[in-house]
Amino acid sequence: MASVSVVPTSLLVRQKRCDAEYYQKKYLEYDKLMDKNNWLPLKKYFTSCDYGISIKMNEDSKGEKIFRMDDLKKGFAVDYNMKYADVDQNTVNRYEVKYNDVLFNRVNSEEFVGRTGIFKLKKKYIFASYLVRVKANSSITPDVINIFLNCKFGKSSIKRLSRRAVNQANVNAQELKSIRIPNITKKIITNLTNLSNMSWDFYEKSNLLYDKAEKLLLHALNFKKLKINNDITFSEKYKNVVASGRIDAEHFMPKYKSITSHIKNYSNGYKRLIDFISVSKEKIDPKLNPAKEIKYVELSDINHLVGTIESSSEIQGKFAPSRARMLLNENDIIVSSVEGSFNKSAIVPDEFNKSVGSTGFFVFKSKQNQPGYVLALIKSIFFKEQMHREASGTILTAVSDKSLKNILIPILPNKTVNEINKLIIESHKFQKKALKIFNVAKTALEIYIEKNESLSLEYIRKNIK
């Protein structure tokens, strides 16, 4: 049924907007709530609101790390897979991100405009031009601004202000400043700020545990003794070309031989990947149950740093894309089969049991029930380089099921395997706690806005133990 909003022309002039989406009934209801409770524009709480630098970036570690939209995850600015910008010290001084700065993504597809994260890292970073850096004054904390912009009221305001074009939308700095926020009591500000810091602490613990597991694996595999031959000219025996069924030169590059030779010479021996894991072929067709809601997991939902599923799309079966076919069960390990995204791998947690994954994933099951260890292995250079070697295709370069038999895995001592597995599983538990706490903060703020302070505080007490 059509929804109609009637507004006076004076409002169109005052808002300088005539697009119908801006005056949807839900937004007009928010306006009434804001007016009734004297919400103030965010600019009242800003000491500064600045655009970042427009500059060519590189992946060669030249210059300073630079934040982009992809580096804002779940309410925080994170150092996962960043690019660099080669800039002088004066530029660094102008665009350096400081502790507790809030970064806001102002332009991209409509889905990503408004992505916001608070910066709590300790190293030096700058930020790109499609981000806005916000500094808060003493009347509020930056954590609360960040939580508000991530809660449903902030997101709704951002979506309303978003100016849409072909495949792109934007919200500029002036519009960000105009977003209204309620007067929040000191007690709520303190509690929300504590939750934000608690969430970040858990993320840091998770990352430290994963780093420890990764270092343990590389140490056990004598990574420091790995010598990779990067020669760009080489020859290959005809019989090896025939046996492989491949004639593309890239498949025979010396660096791949360096990897497999290192594995074959490992003191504890080696075996094939398929001897260590089984490859699931379980598929479903969501369109057979068109009204049923499914959780659909694709490559963009993966946190490639620690190997977790960060999100999913909740869709009815009738709207599922054709690639939504792979059945995912708890403790499965999913890894991208597509070249360019082999780092996209994760363990399926209990909340994603019986979800649906993209056909762009391999779905592995650990034969020794060590999903954490399997994840650590497939995220290592030893696995990923062999995947690059096995990749083939023209328009879409990927690894086929049959090529998995060519991937070799070193056999580590059981004690090391168990320790790595334990560290990865603990790392993922901390990730889950961090996300839960940040979500509690968002919901608590929403309850405060819709209800009152006491119910908000009660919600926090019940959900943070």
Q: Give pLDDT tens digits for 122-150.
A: 999 999 999 999 999 999 999 999 999 99
User: What's the pLDDT tens digit per position in 43-63?
Assistant: 999 999 999 999 999 999 999
Kindly report, residue by residue over 402-432, the tens digit of the pLDDT: 999 999 999 999 999 999 999 999 999 999 9
Which band of pLDDT confidence, cut at 50, 70 and 90, is reported for residue 26?
Answer: low
pLDDT surpasses 50 at 244? yes
List the chain domain ranges.
1-36, 41-182, 222-411
Quick: pLDDT tens for 61-81: 999 999 998 899 889 999 987
Average pLDDT over residues 19-47: 77
Q: Across residues 106-115, what is the average pLDDT?
A: 83
User: Is it true that 41-182 and 222-411 share their CATH fold?
Assistant: yes
Q: In CATH, which of 3.90.220.20, 3.40.190.10, 3.50.50.60, 3.30.70.20 is domain 222-411?
A: 3.90.220.20
Q: What is the mean pLDDT of the chain?
A: 90
Arithmetic mean of pLDDT, 93-105: 97
Mean pLDDT computed over 145-173 = 88
User: Following DSSP, what letter does each residue of 394-416 receive, concatenated?
Assistant: SSS-B--GGGGGG-EEE---HHH
Top-confidence residue, 351 or 247: 351
Phi, psi for 338 (deg, rounded to 5): -100, 130
User: How does residue 11 score in pLDDT terms, banded at 50, 70 and 90?
Assistant: low
- Give the tens place of pLDDT for each residue, 361-389: 999 999 989 999 999 999 999 999 999 99
pLDDT value at position 38?
Answer: 85
260-291, pLDDT tens digit by residue?
A: 999 999 999 999 999 999 999 999 999 999 99
At residue 13 the predicted structure's pLDDT band, cuts being 50, 70 and 90, is very low
HEC string of 297-360 equals ECHHHEECCCCEECCCEEEEHHHCCCCEEEEECCCCEEEECECCCCCCEEECCHHHCCEEEECC
Q: Residues near 201 by Cβ (< 8 Å), separated by ≥ 6?
A: 434
Nearest 5°: phi and psi at 421?
-60, -45
> For the chain, how far is it from start to end, CA to CA, in angstroms?
45
The pLDDT, as a whole number, for residue 16 is: 58
CATH class of 41-182: alpha beta
Give yes or no for a contact between 124 and 89, defined as CB atoms under 8 angstroms apart: no
Whole-angstrom distance, CA of residue 324 vs CA of residue 251? 30
Q: Which residue type sits at 151?
A: C
| pLDDT for res 166 | 66
**pLDDT confidence band for 20 (50 / 70 / 90):** low
For range 162-170, the mean pLDDT: 77
pLDDT beyond 90 at 296: yes
Of the candidates 293, 233, 45, the residue with the CA atom closest to the CA atom of residue 146 = 45
The structure's pTM equals: 0.87
